[in-house]
Every structure is written in structure tokens, then in C-alpha cells.
Structure 1
Amino acid sequence: MAGKRWYDDPCGVARALDMVGERWALLVVRELLLGPKRFTDLRAGLSTASQNVLTQRLRELEEAGIVRRRGLAPPASGTGYELTDRGRELEPVLLALARWGSRLPLTSEADLSADALMLALRTTFDAPAARGFHAVVELRLGVDRFRAEVSGDRLTLSRGEAPAPDAVIETDAATLRALVFGACPLGDAPVRVAGEVEVAERFLGLFPRPAPRQADAGSC
């Protein structure tokens, strides 16, 4: 990793940041949490990262044993990137960061990538509200497909189609974000629902917007 910056600090936090502290590194990991992607798909999810920077981050993450290349099975083609076992160990770290950051003031008007939105669903899922609800919902966001299963008080998300979903919600990531966080009612949104509409409505209501973090009181 010639030219890479180091903290030169033996603390575990510093050593972790030596591996994933460069700009875009953790967001690359975010985009791969639900499965492998081609370089072009990573660029689509990280649209403001330049091709050169993304290439460099992937090279560094490969060298650190966090990401590896792999051939993709049909219908995809060519070579993609996936997380190694070491890379997957970062999942709870990203979930904790997402929960912490979701309560900070919103400073960007950019759209969430489909995978970033899936992370947001995981971190805002209201488990008590889901008790007694069992359903499989397929989310179709453009070319992306996700399988969402709610079982009791647990949400499981994976990339790909659901074999026999109770409901299918077909829209784009920006509209789904507005639906789940209450900015737009289902009847007013450009969305197609197949299967049980009641299941889709119940599912969309399981993700309350995080309450903003209150500023610490100042001292006199």
C-alpha cells in the first residue's frame, strides 16, 4: 500500500482505520454487504467517487484481505468483488455507525443507493411493531432485487429475487425511501404492488424515521 497514510498508533481503533479509514473504503464495504457486485455496479452505488479513487480503494481493500475478486455466475457476467470473511466482520461496525449517524442532521440531498437504503431499513426496523407479522416481500428497485423476510421481530435482507413472495413492491430507491420514512403515502407514490397489498402496507410501516439527536446542553 505504497503512499497510503498511517496513524502510527498501536490502539485497535487506529489499526482498524489504517485498513478502512481512507475515504470511500467503508462505503465500498457497505455496497458489498448483501453480495458481490461488478465494478460498474459499485460505481453506480458510489456515483460521486471517481473511477480512479474507487479503483485505488478496491486495490487497498484487496491487499488488506477485506475484499476479493470473483467470477460472477449467470445472469451476471465477468468479474466482480465480494467481501472476504474478514470483510464481513465489519458488518456490525457499519450497522452501529449507520444507527449513530442516522440521528445526525441530514447534510446531503443526494439519493441513497439501493444498498445504502437496505442498510437504512436494517437499522430503523421496528421489531416490537413487527411481532406476529410473518411475510416475504420482494423489493424491485430498477435492476436491483432484494428479498425481505419479516419473521416475528426479525428482519432478514438478501440480494436477489424471492421465490414466492407475499408481496412485490416495484419502484425506485428514492420512492421507497419516501414510502418507508413517511414522506409519501403508498396511494400517492409511483409504485407497483403485486400480491397482498395489506402485507406491503404493513411492511412499509415498520421503519420509523430515527429521532434527531438532541444537542448537548451548554454550560454557563
Structure 2
Amino acid sequence: MVARDYGQYDGITRGLELVGERWALLIVRDLLVGPRRYGELAAGLPRIPSNILATRLKELQEAGVIRRLPRSRVIVYELTEYGRELEPVVLALGAWGFKAMADPREEQIVTPDAMTISLRTAFRPLVAADLPPTVYAARVGLAELLIRVDAAGLDVQRDPGPDSGTESGVADLAFVAGPDIHRIISGALAPDRAIASGAVEVLHGPADLLERFARTFHLAA
């Protein structure tokens, strides 16, 4: 499958021919979080036309990047081993793009899968290894996540539900934030100022754990 032919012969050119079409890497980004049904992919990419999503999925299958599998009487899409090799590429691109992020436009949203990959990108395992294990319940825009940090390990669950959040006492810190969370991750907004200004609302747990969060997840802008 060659969706676009640049007329050059090298690895970068070939890579762009496989995943360089619009929306392709965002589909890969969401599948790095886990297998998704067609409707879940469409919901996570609300501006993608249905015909483009179908085309990209077909192209990525033909390229050996994803596969289509039956699971519990539904069809899901998941990355192949070859497709999962794109993870460091996606994380590196996210770190690079983070440096150019300005304030969000009014129509821009934060999806659960996008926020999960942002956290993976910003995670500092060497810092986390020296901190106590911590569980964060975070609501950022449309994303509701349970974030477990244990030594150098990170586990992020989407939409954890009532049995995984503050009601059961699992989360050490539960908070709500808007797009300004990227300023906390970049270091442009100190955690105490984020709380004082209302950029972050602490729902449960010691407020000073937000400083631990900022140390654990950091990308210099």
C-alpha cells in the first residue's frame, strides 16, 4: 500500500508513505492506549469524516500497522507488533510538539486517549522511582483517568468508574483541571498557584500532592 509516493527511496520517506496521511498517526496514538471499536475511534477523533476513518483503517491494515479482530461479538482494531514499534516515535513527536503548544482554542478538546499518551510522554521514571507510590484520579476536560505511579512504573486507566476513584479511597489525590494542566506539566504554572487561581480544583487528598504530580510528569516547553 502506498497512499502517497514521494519519489524518494529512504526509511523516512517510506514511513511517511505508511503513516503520513492526515489522521493516521492520531489513530495510532489512540490504539497505543488499547484496542478500540470503530465507534470508539470515531468518538475519540470527533472531526474525522467517517469515510476518511474507514480509508485510514484500511490503509493501516494493508500496511501491517493494525489488524481487525473479532472480540466478544464485536470487531476491534489493535496495533500489530510492527505498529507498536511506533510508540517511541509518537511519544517523541508529542514531546517535540509540546514545546509549540499555545493556549487552546475554544473548540479544542482533551480526549481520554490523548491525555493518556500525554502522560506517558511526560512521565519521568527516574524521578518517580524516588517518590512514594501514588494514585491520582484526574478529570481533565472529557478525560477521566486513574493514574497509578509505583516506583518507575506508570499505569493509566480510562473512565475508571465509581469503584476506582475517591469513593473507595483508592486515589491519594483527586483533582479536576482544564487545559491549563499543560502549563503545570511544562513548569510554567506552579502547583500552588494552579490551585489558588482555580486552574486546578482538588476534590480529595492533600493539595501538596499536586507538586508530586508536577515532578512526576514534566516536559519543558
What's the counterpart of residue 80 of structure 2? 84
Matched positions, count: 203
Are 1:135 and 1:199, in contact at CA under 8 Å, matched by a contact in 2? no
Alignment of 1:157-176 (within 5 A): 157-159=156-158, 161=160, 165-167=170-172, 169=174, 171=176, 175=177
Are 1:135 and 1:151, in contact at CA under 8 Å, matched by a contact in 2? yes
Are 1:67 and 1:84, in contact at CA under 8 Å, matched by a contact in 2? yes
Are 1:34 and 1:159, in contact at CA under 8 Å, matched by a contact in 2? no
Question: How far apart are residue 190 of structure 1 and its match?
Answer: 7.7
Are 1:169 and 1:200, in contact at CA under 8 Å, matched by a contact in 2? no
Comparing 150-159 and 36-45, the one that deviates more: 150-159
Structure 2, unmatched stretches of 5+, are none
Distance 2:141 2:101 in 1: 28
What's the counterpart of residue 193 of structure 1? 203
What's the counterpart of residue 14 of structure 1? 13
What's the counterpart of residue 29 of structure 1? 28
**1:35-54 deviations in whole A, cap 9, x for unaligned?**
01122221222122111111
Are 2:141 and 2:178, in contact at CA under 8 Å, matched by a contact in 1? no
Distance 1:189 1:104 in 2: 21
What's the counterpart of residue 91 of structure 2? 95
Q: Residues 147 and 59 of structure 1: is their aligned pair in 2 closer, same or farther, counting only changes over 3 Å?
A: same
Letter in 1 for 2:147: A
Aligned to 1:69, the other structure's residue is in SS state strand
Distance 1:145 1:96 in 2: 24
What's the counterpart of residue 216 of structure 1? none
Distance 2:142 2:87 in 1: 24
**1:150-197 deviations in whole A, cap 9, x for unaligned?**
1234434355645973336365xxx35434633673473685735x44
Question: How far apart are residue 107 of structure 1 and its match?
Answer: 8.0
Aligned to 2:133, the other structure's residue is in SS state strand
Alignment of 1:104-123 (within 5 A): 104-106=100-102, 109=105, 110-123=108-121
* TM-score normalized with structure 2 length: 0.73
Distance 2:172 2:71 in 1: 28
Q: CA RMSD in A?
A: 3.3
* TM-score normalized with structure 1 length: 0.74
Question: How far apart are residue 200 of structure 1 and its match?
Answer: 5.3
Identity of aligned residues (%): 33
